Amino acid sequence: MTLSKNTLSWGIRFVISFLFLLSAVAKLYPSPYFAISTFEVKQLYPMGFSESFAPYFSRILIGIEFALGLLILQKNFLRSVVIPATVLLLAVFTTHLTIVTFVSGGNSGNCGCFGSLLPMTPIEAIIKNVAALLLLGWLYIILPKSNEKKGNFWVLTTVTFASILAMFMIAPMQPVESKFSISEPNETTIDSLVVDSTKVEVNPVLVKDSVKKVEVKKEELLVELNEPSKKKSGYAQYFSKLDNGRKTLCFFVPGCDHCRVAAKELTALKKTNKNFPEISIVFMNEEADLIPDFFKEAGAEYPYKVIEVIPFWKVLGSGKDTPGVKYLWNGNEYKYYWGITDNKFDVQDYQKLINKSYSELKK
């Protein structure tokens, strides 16, 4: 039994509608503002979008996806406007993904098509888009060339603008928080070398060589202490003593299961080492109400700060994901674990790392 053109066209339209609606809804998971902000930082910023324009573009784009998913199911200007607009959007996405795949030289990471709900590699997304383009081409051919001049264009504009407006209402834009910058100055300081000049008797004979001798004493002191010179990590605005001594700086999301596992492993490791680097946590402001439950599962409470979604992703680092764990010593970074793949937190590796002396770390 062969399918009629009408049945086949409706089948294709339902498939295309499902793909576009799923893509729009997935970009709002698990919560609209968090998901859209993550999409901006991970997908739009690397493409060159500015911080001021990205929030508008992301919401408009998702609104258009949602609108096309609905409009493909109605008859007004379907063949002359809706299908060509859908093909154009898919063609742009496919071209971008193809360029990204060739430039990156691989097929890793999440393309962001379905947000974090259904992670998809660029090549998988390209295959999906090409299949959708073929279906749309087939749909264009089998649809009757009806007279669309009698169609109601207001249906298209109303659905489109309503969908875009809904994105701005579901995920309202928030004021930009003060920017967090990581400074890495070349100069270093040693707190223990501060001298009160009013209590020092100056011998004129030694004045000429004083600068040279002070530098020599600095080097000797560093050798004796067997620790790195102090450096500004850039995180002291959150934890004032972070650049003093050995620290464990974590970047966690309260509701993230992988973050909770990392926190539990750190707590267990801390119990076996009395000189364990002090733990401090920077939390993303996403489900912040779960922080007490987070610490309960971790088995201990630690000093923490909560920052907004976009600043959090910036601090975490471009292309990186949670959980993030850094080993700092006097502000110097010696290890950074992030994500859940190749660079993920390794408790055994960290145990070996924190037991190393400064001379061993330098090797």
Mind listing the pLDDT tens digit of every residue in the chain (363 residues)? Answer: 457 888 999 999 999 999 999 999 999 988 899 999 989 998 888 888 998 999 999 999 999 999 999 999 999 999 999 999 999 999 999 998 888 777 765 566 677 788 777 888 888 889 999 999 999 999 999 988 765 656 788 999 999 999 999 999 999 987 655 444 333 333 232 233 333 333 334 444 434 444 444 454 454 444 446 889 999 999 998 999 999 999 999 999 999 999 999 999 999 999 998 889 999 999 999 989 999 999 999 999 999 999 999 999 999 998 899 999 999 999 999 999 999 988 999 999 999 999 999 988 877
The DSSP output letter for 79 is: I
- What is the structure's pLDDT at 154? 93
Bridge partner list, 324: 251, 338
Distance separating alpha carbons of residues 68 and 304, to the nearest angstrom? 43
Q: How many residues are recorded in the chain?
A: 363
Which tokens is 15 given?
A: 């498939």
Residues spanned by CATH 3.40.30.10 within the chain? Answer: 228-361
Residue type, 201: E
Taking residue 283's Cβ as centre, other Cβ atoms within 10 Å add up to: 22
Rounded distance between C-alpha atoms, residue 323 and residue 261, angstroms: 9
- Cα separation, 171 vs 193, in Å, equals 52
Examine residue 30 and say whether the peptide bond preceding it is cis (omega within 30 degrees of 0). Answer: yes
Edge-to-edge, what's the strand order for the sheet holding 246-252?
A: 304-307, 278-284, 246-252, 324-329, 332-338
3-class DSSP state of 252: strand
DSSP classification of residue 307: E
pLDDT of the residue at 148: 63
- Give the whole-angstrom CA distance, residue 294 versus residue 300: 9
- 10 burial (CB, 10 Å; 0-12 / 13-18 / 19+) is middle
Q: What is the pLDDT at residue 267?
A: 96
Class of domain 228-361: alpha beta
Residue 363: HSE in the Cβ half-sphere, 13 Å Cα cutoff: 5
Residues 6+ apart with CB under 8 A from 96: 47
Q: Is 112 left (phi over 0), alpha (psi -120 to 50) or beta?
A: left
Burial-class residue 167 by CB neighbours within 10 Å (0-12, 13-18, 19+).
Answer: buried
Taking Cα atoms as reference points, which of 51, 55, 52 lies closest to residue 32?
55
Show contacts of 111-115: CB within 8 Å, 24+ apart.
111/43, 112/27, 112/39, 112/42, 112/43, 113/23, 113/26, 114/22, 114/23, 114/26, 114/27, 115/26, 115/27, 115/28, 115/29, 115/35, 115/38, 115/39
pTM of the model: 0.73
- The residue whose two tokens read 């000189």 is 275
Residue 178 confidence (pLDDT): 43
Decide: residue 93, CB within 10 A, 0-12 exposed, 13-18 middle, 19+ buried: buried
d(CA 80, CA 71): 12
Distance CA(72)–CA(186), nearest Å, equals 58
